[in-house]
Structure 1
Amino acid sequence: MGEIVLARIDDRLIHGQVMTAWLQFTGGNHIVIVDDATAGDEFTKSIMSMAVPSGIKLSILGIDDGAALLANVPDGHKIIVLAKEPQTYLSLIEKGVKFEEIIIGGMGARKDRKTFHKNISASEEEKEAFRKIVGNDVKMKIHVIPDQGSQAIEGLL
């Protein structure tokens, strides 16, 4: 049986930080992006596939297909799950996917968001999703890159 080695919330999904630091840190060999809009956008999918190092498998799936894959991780797969928002993880949990921990890596400023912690912003709806995720016995923390410290979010809610 394979495993989920990292579950990360990041607006940008795939970018240099994820590709270098987190791949090395986790030993991941399969990146699974779960995002309905991205899964339906062939141009964005082709751009993202170019950003993935050779030897790393990439799957870009909507929530339903993502839940099906993540509920039964194939043997030998060390999966890094990436999603843009906490509501995606909450949907995956509601569909039976098990996560021990979800990290918040990049949630930038937007019109509907306010500063949550340092350079991380969240809307009220996203904070409610954090609460529900934590209520499902999933640890959540802010952890931008592996060699920096992390901050549990319970005290910030």
Structure 2
Amino acid sequence: MAQENILETRIDNRLIHGQVGVTWANHLGANLVVVANDKVSTDEVQQSLMDMVLPDVIQARFFSLQKTIDVIHKASPKQKIFLVVKDVHDALTLKEGGVDFDHLNIGNMHYEEGKKQISSTVSVDEKDIAAFKRLAELGVELDLRKVPSDRGQNILDLF
């Protein structure tokens, strides 16, 4: 699959919800949302709940990280893909596995014990920072942005 089929790759620990399923997918012109997440790939209840958020004209696929690496390059040219991952580590796994994206939208990474909040929607720890730096070394532009109308910011500027 040509990189052009992946319109955007986004980190959002909520995966598909209203902001992703409607705002972002419509803004990008996506007709397919691929959720790359090992846990959700086997959880039909979660998949059904996320599927309900999407407009009828947008399909969803729920793949493990390895299956995403194995099959995304086989996508039809007609598929305009919005790739969604839960965290920076999943994004790095995909990139190092050969998934061809050079832009990463960081939308939502919830606060947890041991993480520091760097924006209203993103909290990171040292492992997250190391993964972001590795993605940058691999040539990925790191764009912190909640919604398309927000002004993006390079997340590396916040560390």
**Could you tell me the percent identity over the aligned residues?**
29
Matches within 5 A, 1:8-157: 8-157=10-159
Unmatched tracts of structure 1, length 5 or more: none
Tell me how far 1:70 sits from its aligned partner: 2.3
SS of the residue corresponding to residue 36 of structure 1 reads: coil
TM-score under structure 1 length normalisation: 0.93
After TM superposition, the runs of 4+ consecutive aligned structure 1 residues lying more than 6 A away are none
Tell me how far 1:119 sits from its aligned partner: 3.3
Counterpart Cα distance in 2 of 1:133 and 1:40: 27
SS of the residue corresponding to residue 52 of structure 2 reads: helix
Contact 1:34 1:63 in 2 (8 A): yes
Residues 98-134 of structure 1: CA deviation (Å, up to 9, x unaligned): 1110010011111132112343111211111101111
Residues 59-111 of structure 1: CA deviation (Å, up to 9, x unaligned): 00100111123233321111001111011111111111111100100111111
Counterpart Cα distance in 2 of 1:32 and 1:119: 22
Counterpart Cα distance in 2 of 1:133 and 1:146: 22
Alignment length (residue pairs): 157
Counterpart Cα distance in 2 of 1:106 and 1:69: 26
TM-score under structure 2 length normalisation: 0.92
SS of the residue corresponding to residue 53 of structure 1 reads: coil
Contact 2:22 2:55 in 1 (8 A): no
RMSD value, Cα: 1.4
SS of the residue corresponding to residue 28 of structure 1 reads: coil
Unmatched tracts of structure 2, length 5 or more: none
